[in-house]
Structure 1
Amino acid sequence: MDYGRPRLGTSSCLLGEPVRHNGNHSRARFLTDALAPFVDWVTICPEVEIGLGTPRESLRLERSDDGPRLMTRRTRQDLTSAMTALAAHRAASLDVDGYVFKAKSPSCGIHGIPLYAGDCAVSRNNRGLFAGAVIEAHPLLPVEDEGRLNDAVLREAFTERVFAHARLRAFTREPWRPRDLVTFHSRHKMQLLAHSPEGFRELGRLVARAGILDPTELIDAYCAAFRAAMAAKVSVGRNVNVLHHCLGMVSDLLDPARRADLAGVIAAYQRREVPLSVPLTLLRHHARGEAATYVEGQTYFAPYPEQLALRNHVTA
């Protein structure tokens, strides 16, 4: 299967560049060891890009009547305007399929960044200035920080969305005909259904009008609906629903014993006794063995390179 090659934005320090305020890096092994062979990096260190050296004075967000200010802790330099301008420029030209930000950073953090008034943190639910601008400009872009990617479920979900965005980007940048969109959509049906039944139906209605709508209007609407559907969280119940859909498509090709075996494995996943990879592997095996090419070709079974093996640890 052609997975596409995602362009993945990330804070430079997460790839081992010594650009932290203390002159060190924050290498994230999942990025440098697991993902690196399969993606193209777009690295950004906002602090360095606005002219700060390494090492440098540490920063923090401070409360003001005009919103959070990005301040140096010791010399009290206000870097808000410089960071805001850089963020707007970078966000406007950003061409990536996902972004991994540096956790706990007042510029790049996306969760739980403290906002200070004097020496006291008055809230801890803020985003860094740079990350906030990127997310506001690209609300459907898959984003995470390296800390949350230590969670197996979040890591798998983020990676799945990144590769889906990459396939969509690759598709839309080549000349296409209505039947090409039908083929692209058909490969993603089960994956979309697992994320959002409502989005799945909306996309089906759009594709049904592929020969009627203006091509530019159609592809813009399809891309927006596709990304919105993929942003919806997958659940065990939705996975079970899709697994039974796939079982139904190969059921007539199997003898009663194999049908019962597959149904039993799906039930075991539903009880969280086995990871998602077990029913997926078994279903795909039977689809391949019985030449059920429509089922075997679904991106749901292999949404990213199999070497990543991320579903081996997903039971929820």
Structure 2
Amino acid sequence: MDIFCQQHRDFPLEEQDQIRDPVLWENLIIRVRAFTAWQQLLARGLSRSALINFHSRYKYQLMANNPEQYKVLGKLLGSMTYDDDPQVLGPRYFSQLMQALRRCATRGTHTNVLLHLSGYLRKSLSQDERQEMRQLISQYHAGTVPLKVPLTRLKQHLCRHPNAYLTHQVYLDPPSQNLDVRNAM
């Protein structure tokens, strides 16, 4: 196992006893899905635009897990020039992404992401709907409702008021959708 880990540093692994914790379990699945998506991207061919698109899809997931690294990775890709080889920059980016995703999202970082995401809908929602959304996010932040409650409401609003950018966000397609993990958060 040690040789495998040395050869595949970015492969998502967790100790068996830690995956009993629903937050750690969800975090592992997020990393497995990121690893899988990266492998699919590599199979299609890594380009500057593919790299930026990948990062764009992971923006809010990364913001929830590790806001500091979200900024660092954004700057890394933002400073990419035509002379930068995506075949060289890509693995460095992905390694940093996987390291950043190892940190579990907190109630505070989830709250921040929910506020950002709901901001995209402020012009589409009525004042009552915006107030309800803020209230659900506040209740989640206070610990009185699980993450699933404001997230579900946000997704309902997105169904009525589609936003192409948000539709592709990994954060809005949580792995726990079928595992009911976010009821425990």
Task: Provide the TM-score with structure 2 as the length reference.
Answer: 0.88
SS at the partner of 1:300?
helix
Q: Which of 136, 142, 147 lines up with 1:265 in the alignment?
A: 136
SS at the partner of 1:163?
helix
- 1:221-240 map, 5 Å: 221-240=92-111
Q: Which has the higher contact order (CA 8 A, sep 6+)?
A: 2
Q: Give the drift of 1:139.
A: 5.1
The structure in which a higher percent of residues are helix is 2
Matched, 1:174 2:44: yes
2:26–2:176 Cα contact (<8 Å) kept: no
Distance 1:138 1:257 in 2: 50
The equivalent of 2:74 in structure 1 is 204
Matched, 1:284 2:155: yes
Matched, 1:144 2:14: yes
1:287–1:293 Cα contact (<8 Å) kept: no
Matched, 1:294 2:161: no
Distance 1:240 1:211 in 2: 37
2:77 partner amino acid: V
Distance 1:285 1:212, change over 3 A: farther
Distance 1:207 1:145, change over 3 A: same
Number of residue pairs matched by the alignment? 184
Distance 2:143 2:176 in 1: 24
1:166 partner amino acid: T
The equivalent of 1:15 in structure 2 is none
Distance 1:229 1:280 in 2: 22
SS at the partner of 1:153?
helix
The structure in which a higher percent of residues are strand is 1
Q: Give the drift of 1:303.
A: 3.4
2:15 partner amino acid: D
1:191–1:299 Cα contact (<8 Å) kept: yes
Q: Which of 158, 174, 187 lines up with 2:28 in the alignment?
A: 158
1:161 partner amino acid: R
Runs of 4+ with >3 A deviation: 136-141
Distance 2:83 2:180 in 1: 41
Distance 2:128 2:167 in 1: 21
Distance 1:140 1:179 in 2: 22
1:276–1:311 Cα contact (<8 Å) kept: yes
1:218 partner amino acid: L
Q: Which of 177, 181, 187 lines up with 2:57 in the alignment?
A: 187
Distance 1:305 1:237 in 2: 19
Stretch of structure 1 that moved more, 149-158 or 264-273: 149-158
Distance 2:8 2:19 in 1: 20
Q: Give the drift of 1:188.
A: 0.9
Distance 1:261 1:194, change over 3 A: same
Q: Deviations over 1:108-156 (max 9, x none)?
A: xxxxxxxxxxxxxxxxxxxxxxxxxx3x655554322333322222222
SS at the partner of 1:251?
coil
Distance 1:273 1:219, change over 3 A: same
Distance 1:210 1:307 in 2: 41
Matched, 1:275 2:142: no
Distance 1:266 1:160 in 2: 22
Which one has a bigger Cα radius of gyration?
1
Matched, 1:218 2:96: no
- 1:96-135 map, 5 Å: 134=5
1:249 partner amino acid: Y
2:163 partner amino acid: A
The equivalent of 1:308 in structure 2 is 179
